[in-house]
A and B are shown apart, each in its own frame.
Chain A
Amino acid sequence: MEDIVTPLWHALFAVLSWQGVFAMAFATLCGVVIGALPGLSATIGIAVLIPLTFGMDPLIALGMMAGIYNGSMYGGAIPAVLLRIPGTPSAIVTTFDGFPMSQQGKSGAALRIACMSSAIGGMVSAIALMTLAPPLSLVTLAFGPPEYFWVAVFGLASVSVLLGRDPLKGALSATFGLLVGTIGTDVVTGHERYTFNILELTSGLHIVVVLVGLYAMPRVLIMAEDRVREGVAAAALKFSGAKLGYSAVGRFWKTWTRSSIVGIIVGILPGAGGNIAAFIAYNEAKRASKDPDSYGKGNPDGVAAAECANNADNAAAMIPALTLGVPGNSIAALILGGLLVHGLQPGPALFRENADIVYGFMIQMFLTSVMVFLFGGLVASRIFAQALRLPQVMLAPMIVGLMIVGVYSVNNSMFDLYVMMIFGVVGYVMEKMDFPLAPAVLGLILGNMAEINLRLALLISRGDVGELFTRPVSQIIIALVVLVLIYPIYTSWRGRRNAPTSAPIED
């Protein structure tokens, strides 16, 4: 325990510089606005933010990412409660009871509950990150190149299979990311791969350029196609029934405890996101309730369960990301990309050599959750809700403007902007064809790790492929990979077995 407290104590001083606190506060506020705007999410916010943090102190950069992450998860609840439009995918479950509360004239109370629950979930999750990640990172000391290769395969397999509706498309998305990751100069032999004699491609495609293209540009194109020319009317953003004091703590503590545990467990599992955590926590709250019929009709516990769980997923998703380099969800994948951009490699070395940064980031995840509680009050929520008044056709070109600033500042290169556009169109096609984007991003991030460790393992074993399969830890990870790959086949078989034979085919 002392091994965790000492570095946390040291990191605390680094985190509490005025620049650090300002960056966290600013990013949390931005995160709430981003989350409140339907169509935007933490993923887009962080994708656009990463290039802007180049040259910054890594701790300040990570504090901003933590702020956007936690802030946007709460921000998504604002339109979910007021308009039944989830600002982020994780806020879908919040609409179930949040909007009925709003219709009953209790929108203020619903937002207060959402805010408190988000903060509690985020804080508990950050504590889980602080206590679970350091010992888990020590486990990886037993890993050699074959184990790291299989960890990368496991990360790719789990995200591909568990994320999205179609495991086949998830796997194809991952292979696409892996292939894109091979573009550039091979670090071992110095040979150029798929560069087509284009000078700008010799150093490979920068992860940020690909990320912004894949995530942000399809949203802009879809927003433009929707052609929403009117913002939300001011009358629809009025709050009412805001009375909710500290008595809420006594009322919701059971729901918060249950939902936090659900959020943390789901967060640690690669591939599962905040929306899944919120669904499970909501169902658990309903199952445990003495009045389950009131759920979906404006039960405050429903709002508390959903918001607490989707924020409890946040920091927990960073546990496998920081220790193994395998992110728990797409936002964790982006933050992992941000770490790599700042020259920080996940694993035990990160905890040993950059203790201030990694422990500082954990504290920032906690503090930004506290900031959600401090800033997410009714006055602030009223202000953030005003962002919804901006028509989407006005918002879309501004996002493009921010994308251009971000991508251009990676290498000061116009070439990168055209590459971003190409990946933007690819991302649009992927979205329309229901290919999940996260496996592609993970393929790009983990491709290098997988290739280097595969080649190292083969080099050490003098080309003996059997070495990849014979070590005990490798065998455990291979078993997990097989389990993850079998899972969709099993669920599909079970679904077919349980379905009535005369059931109509659903769209």
Chain B
Amino acid sequence: MSLNVKESVTALALLALAVGAWFGAVTFAAEARVFPRLVAGVMAALALIMLGRSVFMATDAGERRFFKHFPTFLLCLGLILGYVYTTSLLGYFTASAIFVPAFALLLGLKRPVVIAASTLGFLVVTHLVFVEAFDRPLPVEFFLRQ
């Protein structure tokens, strides 16, 4: 996909967002809708300029890949989503103990000692810094729940 097409798609998406924000403000009180509509109006105008520029002016003749490696992007996103979900199910440290090595392994790192040592080091340091030192509340481990 050429840069011009990508820019056109982005401009259309931003235009849709601006139009949605404009009409989404219909139900707001008169005073509360002034600023969002002002911003949406400016955004729509800018998106239209971007659309016009991408359609009528050649910004880039060549192809530029959006994703460097789409399957890896999807895998990474899926893993992070899974990590967030399992954090609520299993607790932060249990989920991290699964996620950190799984991520490295699935992305092709084949050095078990490095993976194990790094994961252990990460868990120990995060526990010491965030739980012991800063007393940050984290999702409780499933085996510690009452």
Q: Residues of A with Cβ closer than 8 Å to B?
A: 52, 55-56, 168-169, 171-172, 175-176, 178-179, 182, 186, 188-189, 191, 193-194, 217, 220-222, 224-227, 229, 390-391, 393-394, 396-398, 400-402, 404-405, 408-409, 412, 414, 417-418, 421, 424-425, 429, 432-433, 447, 450-451, 454-455, 505, 507
In the complex, what residues of B have CB within 8 A of residue A178's CB? 39
A188 to B96, CA, bound (A): 42
| Closest residue of B by beta carbon distance from A403 | B80
Q: How far is the CB of B126 from chain A (nearest CB, A)?
A: 6
| Given A394-B114, A401-B99, A455-B31; A194-B24 close (CB under 8 Å) | yes
| Given A179-B21, A229-B109, A397-B103; A224-B126 close (CB under 8 Å) | no
Number of A-B contacts (CB under 8 A): 169
From the candidates B17, B39, B46, B61, name the one contacting A168 in the complex (CB within 8 A).
Answer: B46
| Closest residue of B by beta carbon distance from A458 | B34
| Given A227-B72, A425-B77, A455-B34; A418-B109 close (CB under 8 Å) | no
From the candidates B76, B99, B136, name the one contacting A221 in the complex (CB within 8 A).
Answer: B76
A224 to B105, CA, bound (A): 12
Q: Are A189 and B130 in contact (CB under 8 A)?
A: no
Q: Are A224 and B73 in contact (CB under 8 A)?
A: yes
From the candidates B42, B88, B138, name the one contacting A405 in the complex (CB within 8 A).
Answer: B138
Q: Are A401 and B108 in contact (CB under 8 A)?
A: no
For chain B, residues 1 to 53, give those with C-beta under 8 angstroms from any C-beta of chain A. Answer: 6-7, 10, 14, 17-18, 21, 24-25, 28-29, 31-32, 34-36, 39-40, 42-43, 46-47, 49-50, 53
Q: Tell me if B81 is interfacial: C-beta within 8 Å of chain A.
A: yes
Q: How far is the CB of B56 from chain A (nearest CB, A)?
A: 14
In the complex, what residues of A have CB within 8 A of residue B134's CB? 52, 56
Q: Are B73 and A221 in contact (CB under 8 A)?
A: yes
In the complex, what residues of B have CB within 8 A of residue A229's CB? 107-110
| Given A189-B32, A408-B138; A225-B6 close (CB under 8 Å) | no
Q: Are B87 and A179 in contact (CB under 8 A)?
A: no
Q: How far is the CB of A22 from chain B (nearest CB, A)?
A: 10
| Closest residue of B by beta carbon distance from A192 | B28
Using A55-B135, A169-B50, A172-B43 as known contacts, list a sample of 5 further A-B pairs with CB atoms less than 8 Å apart, ordered by residue number in A.
Answer: A52-B134, A168-B53, A401-B96, A401-B126, A414-B139
In the complex, what residues of B have CB within 8 A of residue A417's CB? 84, 87
**4 closest residue pairs by CB, A with B:** A397-B103, A224-B76, A175-B43, A186-B32
Q: How far is the CB of B91 from chain A (nearest CB, A)?
A: 12
A189 to B32, CA, bound (A): 7
In the complex, what residues of B have CB within 8 A of residue A222's CB? 68
| Given A52-B134, A394-B109, A454-B35; A175-B122 close (CB under 8 Å) | no
Question: Can you give 13 contacting A-B residue pairs, CB < 8 Å?
Answer: A175-B42, A175-B46, A194-B36, A224-B73, A225-B76, A391-B104, A398-B122, A405-B92, A409-B130, A433-B6, A433-B7, A451-B35, A507-B60
Q: Are B47 and A172 in contact (CB under 8 A)?
A: yes
Q: Are B107 and A227 in contact (CB under 8 A)?
A: yes
In the complex, what residues of B have CB within 8 A of residue A455's CB? 31, 34-35
| Closest residue of A by beta carbon distance from B101 | A397
Chain B interface secondary structure, helix, strand, loop or mixed?
helix
| Closest residue of A by beta carbon distance from B24 | A194
From the candidates A172, A394, A418, A425, name the one contacting B14 in the complex (CB within 8 A).
Answer: A172
Which one of B31, B50, B107, B126 has the greatest number of beta carbons of chain A within 10 Å? B107
From the candidates B18, B42, B104, B138, name the one contacting A409 in the complex (CB within 8 A).
Answer: B138
A418 to B80, CA, bound (A): 10
In the complex, what residues of B have CB within 8 A of residue A447's CB? 35, 39
| Given A168-B53, A397-B100, A507-B60; A224-B43 close (CB under 8 Å) | no
Q: Are A397 and B104 in contact (CB under 8 A)?
A: yes
Q: Residues of B with Cβ closer than 8 Å to A?
A: 6-7, 10, 14, 17-18, 21, 24-25, 28-29, 31-32, 34-36, 39-40, 42-43, 46-47, 49-50, 53, 60-62, 66-69, 72-73, 75-77, 79-81, 83-84, 87-88, 92, 96, 99-100, 103-104, 107-111, 114-115, 118, 122, 126, 130, 134-139
Q: Are A394 and B137 in contact (CB under 8 A)?
A: no
Q: Are A188 and B50 in contact (CB under 8 A)?
A: no
In the complex, what residues of A have CB within 8 A of residue B60's CB? 507
Q: Are A225 and B72 in contact (CB under 8 A)?
A: yes
In the complex, what residues of A have CB within 8 A of residue B6's CB? 433
| Closest residue of A by beta carbon distance from B6 | A433
A55 to B73, CA, bound (A): 36
In the complex, what residues of B have CB within 8 A of residue A433's CB? 6-7, 10
| Closest residue of B by beta carbon distance from A407 | B84
A244 to B123, CA, bound (A): 40
| Given A172-B14, A179-B17; A391-B114 close (CB under 8 Å) | yes
Q: Are B43 and A193 in contact (CB under 8 A)?
A: no
| Closest residue of B by beta carbon distance from A53 | B134
| Closest residue of A by beta carbon distance from B35 | A451
Q: Are A188 and B31 in contact (CB under 8 A)?
A: yes
| Closest residue of A by beta carbon distance from B72 | A225
Q: How far is the CB of A407 from chain B (nearest CB, A)?
A: 10
In the complex, what residues of B have CB within 8 A of residue A175's CB? 18, 39, 42-43, 46
Q: Are B136 and A394 in contact (CB under 8 A)?
A: no
| Given A189-B29, A400-B99, A451-B35; A224-B72 close (CB under 8 Å) | yes
